[in-house]
Amino acid sequence: ETGVTQTPRHLVMGMTNKKSLKCEQHLGHNAMYWYKQSAKKPLELMFVYNFKEQTENNSVPSRFSPECPNSSHLFLHLHTLQPEDSALYLCASSQPGQSSYEQYFGPGTRLTVT
Amino acid sequence: AQSVTQPDIHITVSEGASLELRCNYSYGATPYLFWYVQSPGQGLQLLLKYFSGDTLVQGIKGFEAEFKRSQSSFNLRKPSVHWSDAAEYFCAVGEVGFQKLVFGTGTRLLVSP
- HEC secondary structure over B14-70: ECCCCEEECCEEECCCCCEEEEEEECCCCCEEEEEEECCCCCEEECHHHCEEEEEHH
What pLDDT digit, counting tens, does each position of B21-62 carry? Answer: 999 999 877 788 999 999 988 889 999 999 888 899 999 999
pLDDT at A1: 57
Residue scoring higher pLDDT (A59 or A99): A59
pLDDT at A97: 73
What pLDDT digit, counting tens, does each position of A2-38 carry? Answer: 799 999 999 999 988 899 999 999 999 999 999 999 9
Cβ pair A103:B42 closer than 8 A: no
Q: How confident is the model at residue B100 (pLDDT cuts 50, 70, 90)?
A: confident
Give B-chain residues touching A45 at CB under 8 angstroms.
Answer: 100-101
Residues from A contacting B (CB-CB < 8 Å) are 4, 31, 40-43, 45, 48, 50, 55-56, 90, 92, 96, 98, 100-108
pLDDT at A98: 66
Mean pLDDT for all residues in chain A? 92
Give A63's strand partners. Answer: none
Interface check B51 vs A, CB under 8 A: yes
What pLDDT digit, counting tens, does each position of A71-106 carry? Answer: 999 999 999 999 999 999 999 999 877 666 789 999
